[in-house]
Structure 1
Amino acid sequence: MSIETQLKERSQQQCELCGSSENLAPYHIAPSEESAENSLYLCADCRDRIDNLALDTDHWRCLNESMWSTVPAVQVMAYRILSALGDQDRLEMLYLEDDLLSWAKAGALNGRTASPEGKESVCDSNGTLLSEGDSVTLIKDLDVKGAGFTAKRGTIVKNIRLTDDPKLIEGKINGSTIVLVAAYMKKV
């Protein structure tokens, strides 16, 4: 029996992530051997979003249901997408056995997944990966509590430091070291 036939049967001819029944095709999850157990049956929209790392949170709400699938390949892909989105809340709800977690962390969506140290990647508002020492610019005005000033949009923050939280970075503005939300930054 071919991989596609097995996937059609397993998925009941629906996308295993969003439930669509149009333009379905097998999607192999690297870095595993090609088989039905290591593949998904996905619609063209989901395949395209995964391949192009389209982090449209509205579309990926479908993971609220599919992340609970009993199919290991679906669980692994849900983990990878949620990691790329930086969706810590849903990641914490998603329990994977050790072997599945290793498989999920062994691959990435265009390079965005947990780092080798197990830390989540830190991304700016455009989904660009941030690293220690990068420079960023604010994309909106931010009230700095305790320091008594407002950091204006367009302010450049040089030599950022990453924190334990993938959603936050540290940087200096007006001589004060403050914690900033990465989603309100854009890499320079």
Structure 2
Amino acid sequence: MALSDLLARAGNACEFCGATADLAAVDVPPAGEIALCPVCREDVPADASHWRCLEGAAWSAEPVVQLAVWRKLGQLAEPWAVEAREGMVLSDEVQGWTEVAGAVEHRDSNGVLLVQGDTVVLIKDLVVKGANFTAKRGTAVRRISLVADNAGQIEGRVEDQRIVILTEFVKKA
């Protein structure tokens, strides 16, 4: 979709918070694109309470916005975000996208949704079987891979070894 068409659909405002400055298109596969302000494009805005705007955006009539809000709420460990996500009324189309994309959801020890490529931190020392070393608490594991059929496991490199890590022993960085 052309940026001008996207901005017209969005009413020249961020589709999460309503801001009007410096809007840009953000891809939300497989649904399309949404218009977001610079703050909403950040993974971690300076003021985490900014994400409360998602409570209102969850009621958007646009399926692509619904999907983007549903995904973002799943990345937040706040009780209000969990409640807002569970309370969303999704169209059949969006429900289908969430079931395909979220057939197996990987969550860290705090319940935060993990996605392919995230960085996680180990929350306890882990003895790595067969590799003769211990992965120390506080170790950052970058660019994780998700184990497709097991929500409790991710893969990552620690000390140049590719290992399987249980999600209960990591937190999203």
TM-score, normalised by the number of residues in structure 1: 0.52
Aligned partner of 2:20 in structure 1 is: 21
SS at match of 1:68: coil
Whether the aligned pair in 1 keeps the contact of 2:26 and 2:36 (CA below 8 Å) is yes
SS at match of 2:107: coil
SS at match of 1:58: helix
Structure 1 residue 29: deviation in Å? Answer: 0.9
SS at match of 1:39: strand
Match of 1:63 among 44, 54, 61: 54
Between the aligned partners of 2:63 and 2:4, the Cα distance in structure 1 is: 18
- RMSD over aligned Cα, in angstroms? 3.2
Higher relative strand content:
2
Match of 1:96 among 75, 90, 109: 90
TM-score, normalised by the number of residues in structure 2: 0.56
State, as a whole percentage, how many aligned pairs show the same letter.
29
Larger gyration radius, structure 1 or structure 2: 1
Between the aligned partners of 2:57 and 2:48, the Cα distance in structure 1 is: 15
Aligned partner of 2:165 in structure 1 is: none
1:122 aligned to 2:107?
yes
1:43 aligned to 2:37?
yes
Whether the aligned pair in 2 keeps the contact of 1:80 and 1:105 (CA below 8 Å) is no
* Residues 1:57 and 1:101: Cα distance change in structure 2 (over 3 Å): farther
Q: Which aligned segments of 4 or more residues in structure 1 are displaced greater than 4 angstroms?
A: 125-129
Structure 1 residue 27: deviation in Å? Answer: 1.2
Measured against aligned partners, the alpha-carbon deviations of 1:9-39 in whole angstroms (never above 9, x if no partner) come to 111211010111111111121235xxxxx21
Alignment size in residue pairs: 119
Aligned partner of 1:73 in structure 2 is: 64
* Residues 1:92 and 1:127: Cα distance change in structure 2 (over 3 Å): closer
Runs of 5+ in structure 2 lacking a partner?
115-121, 125-136, 138-167
Between the aligned partners of 1:102 and 1:82, the Cα distance in structure 2 is: 17
